[in-house]
Structure 1
Amino acid sequence: GELVINPTSEQRKVSDLDVTVVSTGKKVVMIEAGANEVPNDKMFEAIQKAHEENQKQIELINKMVAEIGKPKFDYPHAAFDQELFDDIVANFMDEAKAAMDTDDKNVREQRWNAMIEKWHEKYLEAHPDMDQYLEEITYKFQKKIVKAWLLEGHRVDGRQKNEIRPLAAEGRVSCPGSTARACSPAARRRSCPSA
């Protein structure tokens, strides 16, 4: 079939492929698709065509910004306290690794927040402005740990670098106008004669 950009709802109902492509000026950054057994080359062609079409939209947006856009707001950033960061890393590395070593996001956050309280106890008097750096300290500290773990091959869920999470999917076939669940080809023919 023919590839249609921005199809109507009627065209979507009879289409074998429904793909949404998000692009920047240089590359495709996200693809969401639903399809009835479409060949790989057809899918690739659809993604390429969508990316090309996106470039027209991006060009229009850039033109509008150049003509009527407001200048970006610039504000002075607080200088990052590298000395404080280095001291925290030196004194809390083991505790930070233990805090991060779980695949439960809530547990990780609770552990990290408890550790931040310890940072306050230890450093707040000498660094009364430390709260303005906490978000950046946390980001850099966690990034440092994750980078080290990746280089070591360590993952919080115990998987090796070459393992993927178990995947599971369920599906069923149903026919328009039919309330019967069809599991076998024979059942599909009984519940939906056109199948």
Structure 2
Amino acid sequence: MFTGIITALGSIESAEQKGDLRARIACPFDPAKMAIGASIACSGVCLTVVERGGQPGDAWFAVDISGETISCTVPGMWEEGRTLNLEAALRMGDELGGHIVTGHVDAVGSVVETSAIGDSTRLVISAPADLAPYIAAKGSITVDGASLTVNTVEDQPDGAVHFTLNIIPHTAQVTTLGTLVKGSAVNLEIDTMARYLQRMQSLRG
């Protein structure tokens, strides 16, 4: 489990196909605190640490990425040089600053509009029709691993949904969200509570 509060940025140093894709990710963590078998969310994707090394503040860890994961996430995100939002798994007693995030990507969305609102950035993101019932104004959604609050929702004629987010300067600086432009693809995870509520409602119907 995660909270959607990004704690660091990492970059893919290498990616090599070994049955699954083995990616080595540079990060500012302490390798002594990254246990083999531990989970780290990489731009919203829960992955397992299979190797680690380096020094505190200049470390790296390796993960194996299955074909299924590659097919369900942003195209090209596992290429060498890619910057990733990182969050270590939630520990008992940690502050729940965002919302409960599983690290399982539900769909890939795309940025359809960006605009400046004061010092912040307004993003409009398109999500596929399958996710439309789970996205609500003032609800939570995870975009590339970051827990965010949905401002508005607008259903589209084709069944897709456009929703707006406000990215404050701090969030833009410490995550990859500040680099998003029109046409950028993003990993989306709906709120777990919304998932169960929708399931309960469908059974009642």
Give the TM-score of the pair, scaled to structure 2: 0.23
Higher strand share: 2
Decide which structure has the larger Cα Rg and report it: 1
With CA pairs under 8 Å and 6+ residues apart, which has the higher RCO, 1 or 2? 2
- The structure that is helix-richer by fraction is 1
